[in-house]
Structure 1
Amino acid sequence: MAIHIHPPPPPAPPAAAPAQAALPEHDIVVNGTVIPAREVAAEMQHHPAVDAFAAWEEAARALVVRRLLLDAAAAAGLDPAEEDDAIGALLAREIRVPEPDEAAARRWFAANPDRFGTPEWWDASHILLAADPEDAEERSAARTRATALLAQVQEVPGSLPDLARLHSACPSREQGGHLGRIERGSTVPEFETFLAALVPGQVCPEVVQTRYGMHVVQLHHHAPRRTPRFEDAVPEVMRDLARVSWQSAVRHYIAVLAARATIEGFALSAEGEARADGPLVN
């Protein structure tokens, strides 16, 4: 009997993307200095965001804040030709943060326990059968394939790496599906939920469904969160508290500069004058 293999039908044309508001094309003026629209557009590549308009906002904010700092550096007699050096020297001169004492450090440690110690993590491997979350037929087919692969892994212990190399859509297939260390909060919640229910060495008895598709999962190791005693974390707590205090002081300083400045074409929001933990002021 002849077997005829027919080519799949051509894909349907993609749906038209929803219309988005046009990005601003005007220049921004800070204290008489023009920041051209093209500079804001070029800066956008350094500010990943949920959409293009949010990236434009971040880029414009960064350039406005930088202009404010350069103007302040020039007014202070610092050489603005070396921009980064001038900004660094200005902040070092203007920002004064007191050294935290033990009482403040203890309060900070108690109020922010997740900032210290070692987070919970897992070491795991998986096989991913990718499927569009909006395509019910594709997800059903992926689940069927994943269920069959899960049965093979359960029947032949140790077979997951070879099957991952053959079938997984994740780049980890090159390592036999090994994902390595996965810290709490670093992956999608549904994946973590199943990891947390497994014991080391166990293959998850059911297919794990996430927005990326269907997964066959095996846990190798689990390390619970470890929170140190305050006495053991003192140096780290002191550094963290000093850094946060400095960032807060920088934000306040930039707010003062913005209040004194004339800015046209951009509204510098009170809560977003500076990303004090970003490259602008590091």
Structure 2
Amino acid sequence: MSSCSSAPAQPAPSKSLPVIKVNGVEIEEIDLASELQYHQNANFDVVVQQAAQALVVRQLLLNEAKSKGFTVSKEHEEEVLQKLLAENVTSAAPSTEACLRYFKNNPDKFMTLPLLEVDHILLAAAKDDIAGRDEAKKNALNIIEQLEKDPTLFAALATQYSACPSKATGGSLGQISKGQTVPEFERVLMLMPEGLGDKPLESRYGLHVVNITRKIEGEPLEYSMVEDKVKGYLVHRASHLAIQAFIQDLVEKADIEGVKMLFAEQNIYI
């Protein structure tokens, strides 16, 4: 479960929360209500399920730590749980063969970043301004229609309409790679072919008319260049699966009331 203090708060529950017990000991309702804020889902029942599971897992780990002689206090719970897992969960290091197999089976994960040269025209509209975004979309489609007839107008239209400082350079954003623009814009941009987009792209800033003047696709990397990355990922995955197995064993041995542990679907946060 997260200890992040900046997590968005969930609305107050509209119905009573379930009574959760672990080996006969009840989890305080106030703790369950507090945990809700760290789990996001449109379905409140799912939020309750996830929060209850997280608290049950934590309680089982604390109980296990006490049974193994650890001194558990509120101030040092996290430290104790990390020590418990370090001393009781082991996983084998991945073999060279396993690393090579993962590398060969996941070629898309090991490519150089694509590089794009992009011009754009931003029709600004706040994310929550529905009417403003509708108007911006209408204007963007009109600009696209003009550019389809005469592509040479891009710089002039950018100078006239764009709300981005790039208007001073005819809308040019220069060379763009991953991580250089906001995610919602980048996701669509990276999938586009060269040329003028036939639809405007949306971002938190508004609607964008986009022209990709050049696109250099990513190239496959040699295994020697990513060997450490592959091994690190497999080590992390093996460790995560080992922790899951350790916790599942605790769940199966425990008497848990008030929540069905959907273990295969949950993420464990310590």
Under a length normalisation based on structure 1, what TM-score does the superposition of the two structures give? 0.68
CA contact (8 A) 2:122 2:209 kept: yes
Give the equivalent residue in structure 2 for 1:170: none
Q: Please report how far the alpha carbon of residue 58 of structure 1 lies from its aligned counterpart in structure 2 after TM superposition.
A: 2.1
CA distance in 1, matches of 2:197, 2:51: 47
For the pair 1:224 / 2:217, whether they are aligned, the reply is yes
Matches within 5 A, 1:83-122: 83-120=77-114, 122=116
Matches within 5 A, 1:11-160: 24-81=16-73, 82-120=76-114, 122=116, 124=118, 125-128=120-123, 142-150=136-144, 151=146, 155=153, 157=155, 160=158
Give RMSD over aligned pairs: 3.9
- With over 3 angstroms needed to count, the CA separation of the structure-2 counterparts of 1:174 and 1:252, relative to structure 1, is farther
Q: Please report how far the alpha carbon of residue 115 of structure 1 lies from its aligned counterpart in structure 2 after TM superposition.
A: 3.5
Give the equivalent residue in structure 1 for 2:249: 256
Q: Please report how far the alpha carbon of residue 269 of structure 1 lies from its aligned counterpart in structure 2 after TM superposition.
A: 1.1
CA contact (8 A) 2:19 2:27 kept: yes
Q: Deviations over 1:13-39 (max 9, x none)?
A: xxxxxxxx9555123111233222332
Greater shift, 61-70 or 51-60, is seen at 51-60
Q: Please report how far the alpha carbon of residue 157 of structure 1 lies from its aligned counterpart in structure 2 after TM superposition.
A: 0.9
CA distance in 2, matches of 1:245, 1:226: 29
Give the equivalent residue in structure 2 for 1:168: none
Q: Please report how far the alpha carbon of residue 106 of structure 1 lies from its aligned counterpart in structure 2 after TM superposition.
A: 1.1
- With over 3 angstroms needed to count, the CA separation of the structure-2 counterparts of 1:142 and 1:230, relative to structure 1, is same
Give the equivalent residue in structure 2 for 1:11: none
Q: Deviations over 1:6-64 (max 9, x none)?
A: xxxxxxxxxxxxxxx95551231112332223322222222223443333222222211
CA contact (8 A) 2:200 2:207 kept: yes
CA contact (8 A) 1:65 1:273 kept: no
Q: Please report how far the alpha carbon of residue 174 of structure 1 lies from its aligned counterpart in structure 2 after TM superposition.
A: 7.3
**% identity of equivalent residues:** 23
Q: Deviations over 1:177-230 (max 9, x none)?
A: 8696456xx54899448x52225xxxx264436699854123366442333122
CA contact (8 A) 2:201 2:210 kept: no
Q: Which amino acid aligns with 1:96?
A: T
- With over 3 angstroms needed to count, the CA separation of the structure-2 counterparts of 1:87 and 1:139, relative to structure 1, is closer
Q: Which amino acid aligns with 1:85?
A: E
Under a length normalisation based on structure 2, what TM-score does the superposition of the two structures give? 0.71
CA contact (8 A) 2:194 2:213 kept: no
Matches within 5 A, 1:174-253: 181-182=177-178, 186-187=183-184, 191-192=188-189, 196-199=192-195, 204=196, 206-208=198-200, 215-219=208-212, 222-253=215-246
Give the equivalent residue in structure 1 for 2:162: 164
CA contact (8 A) 1:65 1:274 kept: no
Greater shift, 109-118 or 230-239, is seen at 109-118
CA distance in 2, matches of 1:174, 1:46: 38
Q: Which amino acid aligns with 2:122?
A: I
Name the structure where helix makes up a greater proportion of residues: 2
